[in-house]
């Protein structure tokens, strides 16, 4: 199993540096060809979403499509994939950030009865309470 960092993930998705994209592609392909998993942990996912939104100006819709495509890909696996799927589902109709949706989904899976937040938008999410 091989975990990848945000910079590898971004290069793979954006392809703005062809040499680094090719290295990332080959790395992922090597692991998959060897029958091993490539893992995207939740921190990398959150950083990637932030970088693509803030640096590359991807829209929410583009981010949702990107994350959905990664969920459908056989060559990468997410840490706690059900939480990522739930977060994406909640985010579709929410005004809160993707990070807040993932935090809420992950906390529910950890057995939390609710997630407390000072963030007004996050507090409106299912399973959140405003403080």
Phi and psi angles of residue 59, each rounded to the nearest 5 degrees, phi first: -80, 170
Taking only the tens place, the pLDDT of each residue in 65-121 is 999 999 999 889 999 999 999 999 999 999 999 999 999 999 999 999 999 999 999
The count of other CB atoms within 10 Å of the CB of residue 112 is 13
Taking only the tens place, the pLDDT of each residue in 24-68 is 999 999 999 999 999 999 999 999 999 999 999 999 999 999 999
Per 3-state DSSP, the chain is made up of helix, strand and coil in percentages (nearest 5) of 60, 10, 30
Residue 115, classed as helix, strand or coil, is strand
| pTM for the predicted model, two decimal places | 0.91
DSSP state of 1: -
Q: For residue 97, which of 112, 82, 107, 87 has the smallest C-alpha distance?
A: 87
Beta bridge partners of 78: 40
Beta bridge partners of 128: 115
């Amino acid at each position: 199993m091989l975990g990848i960092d945000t910079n590898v993930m971004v290069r793979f998705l954006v392809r703005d540096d062809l040499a680094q994209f090719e290295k990332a592609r080959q790395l992922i392909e090597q692991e998959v060809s060897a029958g091993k998993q490539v893992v995207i942990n939740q921190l990398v996912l959150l950083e990637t979403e932030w970088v693509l939104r803030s640096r590359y100006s991807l829209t929410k819709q583009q981010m949702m499509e990107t994350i959905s495509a990664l969920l459908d890909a056989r060559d990468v696996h997410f840490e706690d994939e059900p939480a990522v799927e739930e977060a994406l589902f909640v985010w579709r109709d929410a005004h809160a950030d993707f990070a807040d949706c993932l935090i809420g989904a992950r906390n529910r899976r950890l057995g939390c009865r609710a997630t407390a937040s000072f963030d007004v938008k996050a507090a409106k999410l299912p399973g959140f309470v405003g403080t």
